[in-house]
Structure 1
């Protein structure tokens, strides 16, 4: 087929889906039987054929053949905290001090909301977004470390899916939540829904204000080949930031008849961070004599807004277990980072200067997905589909300098424009069948990818395309009613981001630059897992052995440009391997005391010979999470939780261990009103320390961020008849047509 390009393709894709939806809906109405229809059945989960193990009396953890689901109902931090806060409490997931997410140490993670990718979670600023979105919007987190072929292979570590809360009562329902914290932190949210026999209307909105202050200290040693000595420098940055986030969502589900459902949703998120920073740089030559010194004061603003529309049609066809779904979405993400700085240079020459720098980008992304599934003879399940994704990226950077703010002149070294377009055509098939207690689900996805880059400022155009196949295989064996064994394999990919491909040197501060490479190759990872699960009464235990082989990993490489200036570039690593053992337990110590504990012992090997290392580098790291839950009285719930992340290997060094302890208390005043008190980072131990240790450059960068906070909050629920309405409860909110489906409402 001819590849669509840029915005015309986005509009065409959305229009195609809309026309198809109208045609199918019209056909569905015309085919509705005139006889009295059979009584409505409860909505069926899209769970594949296989066994789901759930701890009785608890919905905290569920597993299916291709994913694990964790409820946020018992996590008190979800009441007052952000998405980043609660993800730190999910097994397999780590979140650093800046909100960056990784799965088992791999930061290449795809994050979805209700089974749909979002531009909010792409790019360098997605960590700040995760720290601003209220966790109270979501009821559970689904983790897929080995997704099936029905999902995009993007994200070598896997997929994290955030499932939004749904008001399931009959009639009008809703809730209001407000929290006040120390340091000027505040957040509030409201959810509303109305359920009738054929129609569901839902909406939610939220606001969050965060404040933070911290310090970054960067100590560098640069090797001088002539003298054989190291020149040293220290940069110290003190900063304070204020963040405001607004989010809103509205959705509608309407049943044309018992076979056809139409859905539409609109989302909007807006996050703004204002930062005041002051930095001091002191550089010395190889003999210890000062040769560079400056002070810099900067006011900065980071702003990201995301607006999206999506529509779905779900049609149950003639066969009872035959279904067609169509989804179309269009989303626009805008980023801007604006800095106004005054610099006071003392060495080598005394001077003053002012600079204004703006780094901005816009991503318009359109998706269309058509999916068909059917139950075949013998209970086998077939799932086939097609997906089109069109990305239009536009990066526009601007910089000006002058002796004062009234005499700024555009600086070509700070000004450039870069365009990046990507079109992905994908087809997939999965087949699931049970042979007694053994279930097997093979799958295959084929993607045709076309990428065009255009460094407008330098008039450098490039492009390439490739066709690749991504197989997957999931197997499940039921030992007995209490035990099962899962095994899986998938091939994943991590495509370089648009900024990774931009060859223009991007200014960050006088001693820090970034630069991409338009010829970077995507990282490919083959992932293998074997898991054993057991439940005994309330108690649930899970052990997973995993192994990953990766090639062409895209990583940061820091180089010394001389004079204390560092350039961070991108490079493909030759090969890396990792593996480990992950253990999870959810159990009761007594009727009123329960615990959750998870641990991961991982080994990682990096082949970094291209970066100047003579041999492969490897290391072990251990991380874990634990929570103790005490139901002191029927109305009082206490929680102590914490996590620790061990020393982690990087291509040029390592990150030092870190961790956090959280406290929470919840009191239920009545069936509608509850109050909470939470303490975040109670011991003030969370931070980030990065060490680069090469022959040419030794660098130690420490970030101490004050995240400790106390929150007091209240939640009020209203409306509804107090009875779930299974007819109007939306189906498990995962990707339409996904062979793994949801694991059922929690």
Structure 2
């Protein structure tokens, strides 16, 4: 693509957003005076990093706050008026004075007294078991999770959520966008602590690519959640926290990105805090193009037509598929909200999100096939009789699909935090309503040419229309009761309701004939799910080193599926599936402090993997007539028992966090595959046998020099599967044996270099070893990324450049071998890419809000709305 074309795309797709997203930067202006002062202790010693809040008695909008520097001094621009000044600092009592401020200048020293305690220092009396690393580290380890900071990920600058997840410890992203943790793809995604319509109906790659990296504050990796979390997601939980700046005054940043394959983005993060009010706005959009390639080689093992074919029809002997798909589209998102503190005990928060994307797709697949042909008829007994000799014929087919998919999602959240009494009791309630609507169409043109007879055999045109929508409601209430200084009791309830509607229509025309309905693919489905969860947990300490937390969660699940399709006589068939079950999910967390910054952690939890909606809905996609997938409405949940033993070590230069884990599941969901009468491979999920996973998850950092930082993430894991299944018991050749075992590993290694104060560059490499699963032998894969970052304009601007997949090696390759066929597949979701980004930050100093809060609001929760904590 020419340089001018890229510039034109950037101008057309994103330049207009600049005026909309930065207009708020000029919304607030008032005549102010500059004041200064100091904060000192009772013996006249300076108090560094103290919070000084100025509350205007006539107009709360003129209130402001700041922090003292290391010498106890501060400066602030403020509107003249009468102010109540509150001074707060760790280890000191709160101070309160009143001053009339009319002119600029020094307002003198403000004095505060030390906090009275057994050690005369409040911080020395605080007990805890949470281990965190220094703020300069890319991730920190806590009792119940790992937290990844994407701000130090230079490679992902200007990218999206999928790019960021590729570098998160314990997380892997396949080339098709499938996310897994420790080899398990049953990951539960949360946005700000709750399921979100931002991630779409199917949590696919399009949704991951629609959330810009610049809007992500951190990602929390929770591999073994406690009973306070919902029980779904046997792999664990990924909680994506979006940015909401906590600095006083008006602050923000704007980031623009341009890249190739063409990618343009413009995103902004704005916040304004005055007095008891906080507003924030994150928004942006852009244009992206990608190109994926697929190669499939399928060979049936026997030439005997009656040996393998289920219905004894002629079938394809071998097929070589070569496909290329081009996608391009726009995406836009907006996340805005506010928080208001009515008093020291009551706070509310309200936020809303909107996301949309519009994607065009052009997919071309070519097939070179060898078919056995014969003429047959049914005799009076219903047996198949061959009329003529079998022949071998070569066919060349092309299948071109041109389509569009539009998606629009909304979400509204509300929360109330109420402190009860003065001993730390807290009651919180929150609600969320979400919608997601997706409309798509594809026009598929298929031509078949017989190279043996030199005759064009088929010219087919198919129209595929899909419409789906989801409505979700989440209501939640929690209560916390401190018991003494070392214990806490927590309890709560949560209700989730989801209603999904899917309409699928396929029509067909052969040559110049009118379009007729393909009744074998047309269907309508209504899927509804309601889950009521109730939990209670207790945490405490025994002595100074041992802490524990025990919890129990109960979930009542109700799932209803109403399915309409057509039989072979084109008669409408209605069917329904109803599931209703109640299960219990205990959790136990233990910790022991060996020494300072050395800790052993042991935990256990029971989890559930509920089948996703598309795994239960029994309609088939028409996108690829050589590969069909359809759901199984009789699919049951998988239950898993998970154990972990971890160790944490941290000091100035090193953090070291190895974790041994063991998981065993019941009624494991496996995908059964067979070849139908047309030669297509059909895939259906079934509950088959058990699965055992065990391994060592190792994460660590090492800073050999101030200018060189290293991060290592490795997962060495083994697995064992048992069970077998046959959809056609009369044909032993169609038996799928899911039994097997193996061992594999993944390694990711990051190096960040800072040769000068303002220049940084980063090298990220990964290697994923080969792995044998129940149905596939996955081959090894590796890749290398490069990123550079240059700070300019006294830290207010940053120029970033990155190259992802430098050697163009990020390709997924699988080999399948069963009684019916062998298949070799290679897929590359997108080729090598590079991007150039520029970030500009505008702010009112570095004033951070340190005022104690009742509870972190819905968008700044440390561990999401379900504030999972281990022993105190």
TM-score by length of 1: 0.90
Q: CA separation in 1, counterparts of 2:871 and 2:323?
A: 46
Which of 574, 583, 588 matches 1:459?
574
Question: Which residue number in structure 2 is paired with residue 384 of structure 1?
Answer: 491
**Within the alignment, does 1:343 sit opposite 2:442 as a pair?**
no
Aligned residue for 1:128, secondary structure, equals helix
Question: Which residue number in structure 1 is paired with residue 534 of structure 2?
Answer: 427
Question: Which residue number in structure 1 is paired with residue 714 of structure 2?
Answer: 599
Q: CA separation in 2, counterparts of 1:124 and 1:336?
A: 14
Aligned residue for 1:167, secondary structure, equals coil
1:164-202 Cα offsets, whole Å, 9 max, x none, are: 222222211111100111232111101111101100010
Question: Which residue number in structure 1 is paired with residue 814 of structure 2?
Answer: 690
Aligned residue for 1:519, secondary structure, equals coil
1:353-386 Cα offsets, whole Å, 9 max, x none, are: 2111022321111010000011113521111000
The offset of 1:50, in angstroms, is 4.1
8 A Cα contact 1:282 1:290, kept in partner: no
Question: Which residue number in structure 2 is paired with residue 274 of structure 1?
Answer: 360
1:382-423 Cα offsets, whole Å, 9 max, x none, are: 110000011111111011111368932222122110111111
Unaligned runs of 5+ in 2: 1-83, 95-125, 309-315, 373-389, 566-572, 727-734
Question: Which residue number in structure 2 is paired with residue 197 of structure 1?
Answer: 275
Which of 224, 234, 242 matches 2:328?
242
Question: Which residue number in structure 1 is paired with residue 156 of structure 2?
Answer: 78
Range with greater deviation from structure 2 (572-581 or 403-412): 403-412
8 A Cα contact 1:372 1:737, kept in partner: no
Match runs of 1:301-700 below 5 Å: 301-347=404-450, 350-403=457-510, 407-436=514-543, 437-457=545-565, 458-610=573-725, 612-613=735-736, 616-669=739-792, 670-700=794-824
Q: CA RMSD in A?
A: 2.5
1:431-471 Cα offsets, whole Å, 9 max, x none, are: 11011211101111001111111113320012020010011
1:104-143 Cα offsets, whole Å, 9 max, x none, are: 0000001111111113436545222112321111121111
The offset of 1:537, in angstroms, is 1.9
**Within the alignment, does 1:261 sit opposite 2:347 as a pair?**
yes
Aligned residue for 2:676, secondary structure, equals strand
Q: CA separation in 2, counterparts of 1:455 and 1:206?
A: 39
Which of 143, 151, 156 matches 2:229?
151
Range with greater deviation from structure 2 (379-388 or 269-278): 269-278
Unaligned runs of 5+ in 1: 1-35
C-alpha distance 161-632 of structure 1, shift in aligned 2 (>3 A) = same
**Within the alignment, does 1:126 sit opposite 2:199 as a pair?**
no
Aligned residue for 2:520, secondary structure, equals helix
8 A Cα contact 1:210 1:242, kept in partner: yes
C-alpha distance 305-649 of structure 1, shift in aligned 2 (>3 A) = farther
C-alpha distance 379-270 of structure 1, shift in aligned 2 (>3 A) = same
8 A Cα contact 1:263 1:312, kept in partner: yes
Aligned residue for 1:289, secondary structure, equals strand
1:183-233 Cα offsets, whole Å, 9 max, x none, are: 321111011111011000100111132212232111112244736799211
C-alpha distance 65-294 of structure 1, shift in aligned 2 (>3 A) = same
C-alpha distance 224-336 of structure 1, shift in aligned 2 (>3 A) = farther
Number of residue pairs matched?
704
Q: CA separation in 2, counterparts of 1:701 and 1:728?
A: 56
The offset of 1:288, in angstroms, is 9.4
> Comparing both chains, which one has the higher relative contact order based on Cα–Cα distances under 8 Å and sequence gaps of 6 or more?
1
The offset of 1:615, in angstroms, is 7.3
Aligned residue for 1:520, secondary structure, equals coil
Q: CA separation in 2, counterparts of 1:508 and 1:642?
A: 34
C-alpha distance 554-615 of structure 1, shift in aligned 2 (>3 A) = closer
Aligned residue for 1:129, secondary structure, equals helix
C-alpha distance 57-251 of structure 1, shift in aligned 2 (>3 A) = closer
Question: Which residue number in structure 2 is paired with residue 726 of structure 1?
Answer: 850
Q: CA separation in 2, counterparts of 1:414 and 1:49?
A: 62
Q: CA separation in 2, counterparts of 1:397 and 1:352?
A: 23
8 A Cα contact 1:371 1:736, kept in partner: no
**Within the alignment, does 1:736 sit opposite 2:865 as a pair?**
yes
Q: CA separation in 1, counterparts of 2:198 and 2:217?
A: 19
The offset of 1:610, in angstroms, is 2.1
TM-score by length of 2: 0.77
1:68-101 Cα offsets, whole Å, 9 max, x none, are: 1121221013321111111111111000111110
Range with greater deviation from structure 2 (623-632 or 532-541): 532-541
8 A Cα contact 1:197 1:727, kept in partner: no
Aligned residue for 1:307, secondary structure, equals strand
The offset of 1:613, in angstroms, is 4.9
Question: Which residue number in structure 2 is paired with residue 4 of structure 1?
Answer: none
Q: CA separation in 1, counterparts of 2:86 and 2:475?
A: 33
The offset of 1:658, in angstroms, is 1.5
1:673-708 Cα offsets, whole Å, 9 max, x none, are: 111111111111101112221111211121134431
The offset of 1:728, in angstroms, is 8.8
The offset of 1:573, in angstroms, is 2.2
Q: CA separation in 2, counterparts of 1:331 and 1:51?
A: 37
1:611-633 Cα offsets, whole Å, 9 max, x none, are: 63557211111101111111111
The offset of 1:651, in angstroms, is 2.3
Range with greater deviation from structure 2 (358-367 or 593-602): 358-367
Question: Which residue number in structure 2 is paired with residue 232 of structure 1?
Answer: 318
8 A Cα contact 2:812 2:827, kept in partner: yes
Match runs of 1:19-38 below 5 Å: none
Question: Which residue number in structure 2 is paired with residue 283 of structure 1?
Answer: 369
